[in-house]
Structures are given as C-alpha cells and as structure tokens.
C-alpha cells in the first residue's frame, strides 16, 4: 500500500467559513482504489507555511494530494510554494495556457488569469476538466505530489478522470457498490453486518436520502455480501449504480411514460432533479410550481372548496394537484407534493415535516402522507426523494 | 493573538466516510473571539501517532484544540495518547465518573463506559453538556491542550459553554465581508488589488456565481478597501451579506412585488432557490416548468407559430413565457428562461450555453441573451443566477 498524505490549503479552511469537503472526497476516491490517507494537514494561504508542509509531507510519504490555492487571485500561492519545496522555478505550460484561453471563451487573458498556467518546472500539467486552473503532478524526492485546485466540483472532475491512472489500485480485490433510495446507513449495516463476511471491507456513504454501500474483498465473498444487502431492501436498491433521479427517468423511459410535476413545498426541486440529467426532455414534459393557493386553483384546477375544506396540505389537494399537472402538461404520469417545510407553518394536526404526496398515471392513483424530520432544507430534500422514488417504483411495477 | 492549532482524530476522517465538520465549527467559534486557527492536523485512531502529533503541536502553539476518540469503544484512545504526550498517567476523575453515571440514567456502568471518566493526571475535567464522555484541559509545556469528543453536537455544546471562559478574546481587527453576484474572483481582485491596502488581508471565496471578498485589518483601511470593491461593482454587491436568492426576495418584498417563474432549461431550479428561503410564500406565487413545447403553449400560451418561426430558444419565446407565467399565476413580476444546457442540442447559431432570459413586470419588459460557459450543471446554475439577478436589479431600480 502506498503511504499517502493530504494537504489542504486555504485561510477559509481555518477560520470556520468552509468545511473541507474535498478531504472526504479525495479520501473516498483513494479508498475505492484500495488506498488510505494516513494523515492530513491544513495550512493557510501562506507561501512559507505551504512550502514547509509540502517538503515535510514529501519526506514522509509516497503520494501527497494537495488541494487549494491555484486560482487567479493574490491569495492563490500554492504553485509557487510547491515549486519552492521542489527547488525549481515556475514555468508557463503551453498546453495549460492554451486550455486556459479556450476556457476563458473570449474573456480577457489578464495577468492574474495567465499566472494559473505557470506550474513548477518538470511538473506534468493536468488540464482542468471543469474550470480554468490546471492541476499538476510533480516529483519531490521519493514522493509524487498531486496538486489540485480547491473548487469541489473541479476536484471531483480531476479525481474521476485522473486518479485511477495516476495511482495504481492497491490490489486485485473486487469492489461492488450498491445504491439505495431512502434506506439509511444503520438499516443497511444491521442487514449486512449480522452475517459473517470473511475478508470483506464494508464502507458506507450517505448522500442525504440515498446511501451507497461498498464491499471490497475476494469476489465470491463480495458477491455474497452484495446479495445480502440487495435481498434486504430489494425495491430500494437502484439499478446499475444510477442515482435516484436517473433511475426514475430510466424507469419512466422503459415504461413509455412521460412525466409532470406539481410542487408546492419543494418549489421546483423535483423538476430540477429530473432535468439535471442530460437527455431528459424525451420523458419530462414539465410541471407547475404551485406555491400559492392561487396557482393551485388557477393552473392546476384544484377546487377552492377543496382547499378551504381540507387545507393546502391534505390528501385531496395532493390528488387534485397530480391530476391537474397531468392534464395541464399532457404527460402520462405526474407526482404532486404539498407539505410544511418549516420552520414556520406547523400546527398540532400538521406539524412541520408533514408532506402529502400523490402519484397519478394510467394505472395508478395513489397518495401517501409522510412525516419528514429535520430542518427546511432536509424536509425538502427528503420530499424530493420520496416523490421520485414513488414514481420510480410505480414505473417498475411488474 | 494566541497561536492556535487544531488536531482532529479518527479513522473515519481519513477514509472518506466523514467530513470533518467539527473543524469549521471550532474555527468559527475561535474567530468569533478574534482568534484564528493557524494549522490543523488530522491523524487516525492510533495512540502513537496521536501522542506524537499532540507533542509536536504543543511545542509549536499556545492552544491546541483536539477532537475525537474519547468514546467508549476500543478505537477511542485519545485520552491515553494525550496523557502519554504530557508524560503523566491516566486517573479516574470523581466528578467525571459521577456525571457519567447520571448521564447513563440506569444503563449499566460497563468497564468500556467507565474508562471515559479517566483523564490525564493534572487535567481539568470538563463535564459533557450533551453526552457522556467528558472533555478536559491539560497543560503540556507552554501549551493548553483542550480535548473534546468528536460528536458534532457535543462539540457545539462544549464550545458554547466553555470556549469564551477558557480562551480570552483577542484585540479585534475589523473584518468586513462583501458578497457579489456574477462577479468573479479575478475581476474583484483586479478592482481591489491595484490599490495600496496597508495592513489589510484580502480573502476570496467563490460559490459558483457568487463571490465573497473579505478584508481584515485596521478598521479605517478595511472600510476604504470595502468601499473600493463596492464602488467597482455597485449593482452587483448584495446587501447585508444576503445571498442572491435572499437578496432577490428582499428586493421584491420591498418593492411590493410578487414573483413567478417560467423555466425551460433550468427545470425548476429558480423556483427551488427562491423557495429555499423560509417565509418566501408571501412573495413567490409559483411558476411553470415548461420543459416541452407542449407546456410552453398549453400552460404559458406561447403561440405555436412563434415556437415554429423562432425555435424554443429565442427572444420572442422567452418574452411570451414571462408574460404567460405572470398571467397564469397572477404574480406581478416574472422571469423566463429558455436555453440549451447541453451536452446535446447545440447548433452553429445557438451553441450549447445559449440562454434567453425575459423579465416582465409592471414597469419592465426586458430580454437578454447570454452565452454561458461550462457543463450542463454549470450552465444551469449560472442561468439561475442571471435570472435572479435580473429580477433583483429591476426590483431595486430607483
């Protein structure tokens, strides 16, 4: 196993402004290759401290993954500090400059922007798959130092494209990953870890309403473990590593359905999740964000009498919203959501977190009431997941 | 200012399972007292590595805040390792044991649980305001080492109760933070850093289409620097530290306006951003997710002839969508977005990233075409920002 350290750079990581989410992102990607980060250091945007930390890490480990401080501003001093630790000058890299110019798409190549193309002499430039600043790989003594920008989506892009190529997997053990909708880590752990899983390392990663479980070890044992997890929650297991929105879209496409949404408390997030997927336009017709009762009545045709008699957060209103969305958009299936996301608006009968869902399609007309936990953001995110999962399950029914 | 380091302990912080949110929590609490964490180290649950890291930090700094590894399980070895670094034995603390027993509320005091009451000889026990394991404060050489459990809500409890008492506030330099919509780091840097800012530390934080710039130093110099930044982009500077969606909502509320959206390529994300804000229902009526041309025509009343003549991504369609959203929802103002988020669907005339916007209200009827860079996700996020910012500016016009 390679000895690995992480080095995170940025004032904002040390004054409470930013949680270092890149650290977990990198460590997780390394673990997927069978590696483990042995230690991490966080230092501010100070050239001397960065250079000292890089040199110290390079003396201790074989791979040092550095993030942050490669941008265009004066507090971005990482490239210069790494060059100092390596004992080489900074040189402008022709490929990096060309890539930068392309990315700027006509915006002026100011000196501040141009400096991003300068990397330590002898380093290999890694063109940024998402943004402007290149990453680079430079050898210092016996250590490969991989330097990436600090923007989380850029880090994710580099890891996906480059990591497996730059860091060989630790061994030939099999890894299987399964993704579950609306099943938590502890429920998965209870289902799996009561069995003997010889030589299998189990990992969990919760991403809000979705949980990924990974098994690594001998292939027979890994397959058996994956079977246990799938068998415990057969309907919640998403196919082919798809996320919930992707799985919903795939199920609708396979069923020949088209989709519409009617959203109150989620305010458009179900539509946003479905249309995040390239090529969703063959399935997703659209939807109505019916935040006010006026829109529920005027656009979705929910009778005012129903709103008055039952309140906006109620089963009959959810049902009428789903049917209204189907009719307004001509989609074959629709989901409706009406709930109380909080922090205000709760009552004894309908506390914060109360959400009514309705699903309407050619062969289903169902409603459910859920009591969701957490703050406004969490209630909304789980409501989106329940809405999608309800659609997905109804589209995949035999 | 006190020299401060952080030390985070736990295997789960180095294998991607857990994001170290305690770090930002602690750094933020210290910053509120005028202090700044100078460096942070993350090590696994290994007694030798922890002891080495504690001893090294104690030699460098005046306050070391340690979190993690104080629980009852076999991998909780922090107290023992800190005692080793201090060169003293572990001793059971009578107050900590009494508190622990009370907290267990009848559950058995097993040896594993009891070991939590053992702290280094000479240390001051800090009873846990939320959980069972006490924290403690121990002096090693010239350094106060504050050791807390790793459970985030327990850390929050300790910080709130103890930090101001244990760490005297520093003489505060002034900090001013400004937030800008759709102005990048390098543009801000160019506007500010061409001037002499004596003794002022400038920091940047980009969050997609929004950028925060911070100035720290003597109050006169900080105020002058903030004035420079504001004067360079007066319309883009968001008021009172609000984010763009909050600022848009506040501007609409102040103008007595109500809002609606008509979204094609953003699929509901503008609605999602506005309704993320608690209490948005007095301003946000709702919107139409018009992903398909059917919905554009049937719900928003865009004439089929307009769609055929100009295509869905065009000025007349955007204009008709905005007016249609206003009429359908009865809101006083609306924004419409129609564009090509990619990766497919681009043409020579309308490449990927082409987005038409329309804003319609009692005293405005405007359109803009923007060419947005990046992948699907980025085009959509910047389209949301342009849509909101266009609303905000029109609501704040004199």
What is the interface pTM, i.e. ipTM, of the complex? 0.76
Helix, strand or coil, per DSSP, at residue B120: strand
| Res B203: pLDDT | 83
A 103-132 → B contacts, CB under 8 A: 103, 105, 110, 112-113, 130
Residue B321: Cβ-neighbour burial (10 angstroms; 0-12, 13-18, 19+):
buried
Helix, strand or coil, per DSSP, at residue B22: helix
Give the residue on B whose Cα is nearest the Cα of A260.
B289
A219 and A159 co-located in one domain: no
Chain B contact present for A36, CB below 8 A: yes
Residue of B286, B293, B296, B335 best to disrupt the A interface, most CBs of A under 10 A: B286
Contacts of B285 in chain A (CB under 8 A): 291-292, 294-295
pLDDT band with cut points at 50, 70 and 90 for residue A171: low
- Kindly report the CATH number assigned to the domain that includes residue B52: 3.40.980.10
| Res B40: pLDDT | 97
| Res B39: pLDDT | 96
| Res B173: pLDDT | 75
Chain A contact present for B377, CB below 8 A: yes
Cα–Cα dist A101/A120, whole Å: 20
Chain B contact present for A30, CB below 8 A: yes
Residue whose C-alpha is closest to residue B267's, from B211, B338, B210, B216: B338
Residue of B49, B208, B282, B292 best to disrupt the A interface, most CBs of A under 10 A: B292
A80 and A203 co-located in one domain: no
Cα–Cα dist B310/B287, whole Å: 23
B282 and B333 co-located in one domain: yes
Chain B contact present for A75, CB below 8 A: yes
Cα–Cα dist B204/A70, whole Å: 12
Contacts of B268 in chain A (CB under 8 A): 261, 263, 267-272, 275, 287, 289
Model confidence pLDDT, tens digit, residues A50-88: 999 999 999 999 999 999 999 888 889 999 999 999 999
B287 and B392 co-located in one domain: yes
Residue B358's domain comprises 244-396
* Binary contact (A280, B286; C-beta < 8 A): no
| Res B172: pLDDT | 66
A307 and A229 co-located in one domain: no
Residue whose C-alpha is closest to residue A186's, from A209, A207, A210, A204: A204
- A104-108 average pLDDT score: 85
Residue A215's Cβ-side half-sphere holds a number of Cα atoms within 13 Å equal to 25
A9 and A131 co-located in one domain: yes
pLDDT band with cut points at 50, 70 and 90 for residue A398: low
Work out how many domains chain A is built from and give that number. Answer: 3
- Kindly report the CATH number assigned to the domain that includes residue A316: 3.90.950.20
B256 and B381 co-located in one domain: yes
B 42-71 → A contacts, CB under 8 A: 42-44, 49
| Res A99: pLDDT | 93
* Alpha helix segments (H runs only) across chain A: 21-32, 47-60, 78-86, 94-104, 111-114, 152-158, 164-166, 185-193, 219-232, 244-255, 269-275, 293-298, 304-310, 315-329, 376-396
Q: Beta partners for A206?
A: A211
- For residue B40, the distance in angstroms to the closest alpha carbon of chain A comes to 5
Residue of A26, A102, A263, A287 best to disrupt the B interface, most CBs of B under 10 A: A287
Cis peptide before B68 (omega within 30 of 0): no
* Binary contact (A130, B375; C-beta < 8 A): yes
Residue whose C-alpha is closest to residue B289's, from B300, B278, B280, B279: B300
- For residue A198, the distance in angstroms to the closest alpha carbon of chain B comes to 21
Query: Domain boundary residue among B166, B183, B217?
Result: B166
Torsion of CA A18, A20, A21, A24, to 10 degrees: -170
For chain A, the distance separating the N- and C-terminal CA atoms, rounded to the nearest angstrom, is 47
Chain B contact present for A189, CB below 8 A: no
* Binary contact (A290, B290; C-beta < 8 A): no
Instruction: Give the helix/strand (H/E) hosting B377.
Output: helix B376-396
Task: Please provide the average confidence, as pLDDT, over all residues in chain A.
Answer: 93
Q: Could you say which of B203, B295, B328 has the minimum Cβ distance to residue A11?
A: B203
Chain B contact present for A202, CB below 8 A: no
* Binary contact (A275, B290; C-beta < 8 A): no
In the predicted structure, residue A374 carries a pLDDT above the cut 90: no
| pTM (two decimals) | 0.76
Model confidence pLDDT, tens digit, residues A131-147: 889 999 999 999 999 99
Model confidence pLDDT, tens digit, residues A257-267: 999 999 999 99
Model confidence pLDDT, tens digit, residues A212-268: 888 888 888 899 999 999 999 999 999 988 999 999 999 999 999 999 999 999 999
Cα–Cα dist A389/A158, whole Å: 31
B226 and B347 co-located in one domain: no
| Res A168: pLDDT | 80
Query: Domain boundary residue among A205, A221, A241?
Result: A241
B135, B152 contact by CB (below 8 A): no
A192 and A254 co-located in one domain: no
* Binary contact (B271, A274; C-beta < 8 A): no
Contacts of A39 in chain B (CB under 8 A): 14, 41-44, 49
- Kindly report the CATH number assigned to the domain that includes residue A232: 3.30.70.2860
B218 and B156 co-located in one domain: no
Contacts of A30 in chain B (CB under 8 A): 16
Give the residues of chain B that fall short of pLDDT 70. Answer: 1, 171-172, 397-398
* Binary contact (B299, A37; C-beta < 8 A): no
- Residue B160 main-chain phi, psi, to 5 deg: -65, -45
A179 and A151 co-located in one domain: no
Give the residue on B whose Cα is nearest the Cα of A275.
B267
B278 and B391 co-located in one domain: yes
| Res A129: pLDDT | 92
Query: Domain boundary residue among B224, B241, B258?
Result: B241
- For residue A253, the distance in angstroms to the closest alpha carbon of chain B comes to 16
C-alpha dihedral sign at A165, A168, A174, A175: negative
In the predicted structure, residue A194 carries a pLDDT above the cut 90: no
Contacts of A298 in chain B (CB under 8 A): 328-330
């Amino acid at each position: 196993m390679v000895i690995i350290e992480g080095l995170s750079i940025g004032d904002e990581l040390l004054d409470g402004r930013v949680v270092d989410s890149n650290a977990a992102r990198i460590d997780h990607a390394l673990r997927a290759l069978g590696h483990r980060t042995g230690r991490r250091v966080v230092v501010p945007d100070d050239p001397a401290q960065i250079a000292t930390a890089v040199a110290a890490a390079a003396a201790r480990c074989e791979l040092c993954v550095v993030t942050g401080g490669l941008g265009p501003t004066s507090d971005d001093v990482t490239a210069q500090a790494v060059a100092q630790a390596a004992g080489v000058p900074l040189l402008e890299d022709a490929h990096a400059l060309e890539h930068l110019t392309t990315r700027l798409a006509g915006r002026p190549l100011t000196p501040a922007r141009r400096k991003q193309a300068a990397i330590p002499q002898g380093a290999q430039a890694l063109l940024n798959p998402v943004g402007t600043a290149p990453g680079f790989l430079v050898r210092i003594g016996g250590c490969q130092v991989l330097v990436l920008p600090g923007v989380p989506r850029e880090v994710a892009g580099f890891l996906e494209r480059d990591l497996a190529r730059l860091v060989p997997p630790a061994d030939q053990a099999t890894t299987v990953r399964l993704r579950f909708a609306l099943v938590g880590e502890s429920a998965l752990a209870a289902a799996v870890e009561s069995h003997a899983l010889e030589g299998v390392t189990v990992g969990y990663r919760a991403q809000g309403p979705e949980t990924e479980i990974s098994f690594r070890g001998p292939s027979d044992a890994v397959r058996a473990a994956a079977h246990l997890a799938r068998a415990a929650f057969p309907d919640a297991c998403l196919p082919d590593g798809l996320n919930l929105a992707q799985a919903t879209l795939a199920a609708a496409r396979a069923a020949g359905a088209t989709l519409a949404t009617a959203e109150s408390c989620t305010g458009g997030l179900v539509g946003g999740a479905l249309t995040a997927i390239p090529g969703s336009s063959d399935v997703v017709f659209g939807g109505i964000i019916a935040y006010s009762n006026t829109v529920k009545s005027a656009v979705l045709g929910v009778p005012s009498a129903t709103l008055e008699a039952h309140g906006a957060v109620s089963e009959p209103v959810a049902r009428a919203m789903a049917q209204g969305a189907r009719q307004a958009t001509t989609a074959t299936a629709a989901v409706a959501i009406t709930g109380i996301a909080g922090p205000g608006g709760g009552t004894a009968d309908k506390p914060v977190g109360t959400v009514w869902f309705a699903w309407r399609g050619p062969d289903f007309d169902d409603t459910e009431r859920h009591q969701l936990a957490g703050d406004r953001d969490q209630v909304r995110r789980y409501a989106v997941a329940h809405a999608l999962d309800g659609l997905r399950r109804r589209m995949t029914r035999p």
